[in-house]
Amino acid sequence: MLPKLTAFILTLLLTLLVTTTASLATPVKGTVTYKGFVPEPVVTKTGKYKKVCGAKFTGESLLVKDQGIQNVVVWLSGKDAKKKLKGDPGTYTLDQKKCHYEPHVTVMSKGSELEILSSDPINHNIHTYSFDNDPINIMFTPGQEHLQEFEEAEPVKVECDLHGWMKAWIFVTPNNFHSLSQAEGSFEIPDVPKGRYTLNFWHEKLGEMSQKITVGDEPQVINVEFPDLTPKVSQKK
């Protein structure tokens, strides 16, 4: 009888632990939109590289679909974030493929590693621009790989010195609680512990926004709109 009672108590405690743990974390999700002027993307002819790269390359700096913005970095910060939000660094991949960086925006927490690949049959020279992380300036031959750790939180610009249209971003966040908006502008940060945070939004063209949020028992749905890239100037009467 005693072993059965002990097993029942352990099962009950485990169930309570799982239920309690689940109730302490909820998702923060929403949509990022832009209703302002969207300029035509820059189209670059690749010239002598067209056999590998394709004849033209269309810029990706501002992708808007039905007012939803793609590639907006969303992350949490603040006092509670420093106390409660942690996570193990991971390994991410950036490929040079058809004279194009895939993905265009990479989001990872500090301490993570970036594996850079070169799938093209021609050379590339990857060059990063940052303030707090060690820069990369490496000539890549076909099939070459490189692994580099990013230790500080900041946006890092990526370019190719041989093909000027090749551009990308590596965004390093202070913790693992981050997201990247999809084609329709949606984002989700799962399993956020209760607390007060600053929810941050960054886009390479539209800039940065933030707002204070309080995470409780219910999922947080935050919908934000970036201001017009080219606001109208009021005319004097």
Which pLDDT tens digit goes with each residue over 175-212?
999 999 999 999 999 999 999 999 999 999 999 999 99
Is the pLDDT reported for residue 51 higher than 80? yes
Q: What whole-number distance in Å separates Cα of residue 186 and Cα of residue 182? A: 5
State residue 116's pLDDT score.
Answer: 98
Helix and strand numbers, DSSP H then E, in the chain? 3, 20
Q: What pTM did the predictor assign?
A: 0.86
Question: Minimal CA–CA distance to 175: which of 107, 113, 222?
Answer: 107
Question: In the structure encoding, which two tokens stand for residue 97, read together?
Answer: 């493929």
pLDDT top residue among 43 and 24: 43
- DSSP designation for 141: P
Class of 36-226 in CATH: mainly beta
Residue among 205, 163, 169, 167 nearest 45 (CA): 163
pLDDT tens digit sequence for 74-130: 999 999 999 888 878 999 999 999 999 999 999 999 999 999 999 999 999 999 999
